[in-house]
Every structure is written in C-alpha cells, then in structure tokens.
Amino acid sequence: MSTDKEDLVVDEDLVTDEADDEPVVEVAKTNLSKRRTIDNLLEERRLQKQLADYDFDL
C-alpha cells in the first residue's frame, strides 16, 4: 500500500444527459399517438351515438 496521495483523474464525460433524453422523446411520441387513437375512438363513438339518436322521420 502506498502512503502517497495521488490525484485521481475523473472522466466526467462518461455519463451524458443526452442518453437520458432520447427515451423520453420516444415515450412522449408514443403517448401522443395513443392519445390521438383514444380521441379518435371517442369521437367515432360520439358520432355513432348521434347517428343512432337522429330522427330520420323529419
């Protein structure tokens, strides 16, 4: 064991924030896509209900 104190060189570039941001962007796109699909299905149900309730005997 050495008793000399050595300065340790720490490479801080190993951890990057960019790698953490990429999955968040994909998740956001996926969530937006799912939300649009749900909105389209709800709109379709609403229109079908309006069509079913429409009085054709005007």
Q: Is 53 helix (H, G, I), strand (E, B) or coil?
A: helix
Q: Supply the pLDDT for residue 16.
A: 56
pLDDT band at 41 (very low <50, low <70, confident <90, very high): very high
Q: How far is CA 34 from CA 43, 48, 50, 51, in A?
A: 14, 21, 24, 26
Distance CA 44, CA 52 (A): 12
Per-residue pLDDT of 7-26, as tens digits, reads 767 666 655 555 555 555 67
